Amino acid sequence: MNFLGNLLWTLFGGILLWLAWMIAGLLCMITIVGIPIGLQCFKFAALMLAPFGREIDYSQSGTISFLVNILWIVFLGWELAVTAVAVGLVYCVTIIGIPFGLQAFKFARLALMPFGARIVRIS
């Protein structure tokens, strides 16, 4: 079931979110200071292609993660969050698209707080 969900997700909107995270990662990689932020973007860009069967754990957040998240929101996070919410709203228009919309809303939260988050596989 996860394979089918991931395939449909990728074909009908996952590419848009993947591209947004890749562009954000490339922008961050321009400076030496931004390289760790860019690597985090690339890690979450991979999640945009296959979100079903994975969850995001926010239990590892600390003070440094909080400060970096604030900077992230100011520069790039709000754009990614707005994109994810827009995709989620389009999906939630139909009953069949609601699971895909919920995934997009999960990514909107991730776009606001990516640092201190980690991807966890669920069975």
Show the tokens assigned to 118.
């980690």
Residue with tokens 């440094």: 64
Q: pLDDT value at position 5?
A: 86
Counting every residue, how long is the chain? 123
pTM: 0.83
Query: Rounded to whole angstroms, how far apart are CA atoms 110 and 41?
Result: 11
Q: Can you give the residue ranges of every domain in the chain?
A: 2-121
Q: Tens digits of per-residue pLDDT, 52-84?
A: 889 888 887 788 888 888 988 998 889 999 999
- Average confidence score pLDDT of the chain: 89
> What does the H/E/C string look like for 26-56?
HHHCCCCCCHHHHHHHHHHHHHHHCCCCEEE
The string of DSSP letters for 51-100 reads -TTEEEE-TT--HHHHHHHHHHIIIIIHHHHHHHHHHHHHHTTSSTTHHH
Sign of CA dihedral 30, 34, 36, 38: negative
Task: Yes or no: say if 87 and 17 are a contact pair by the CB < 8 Å rule.
Answer: yes
Confidence of residue 105 (pLDDT cuts 50, 70, 90): very high
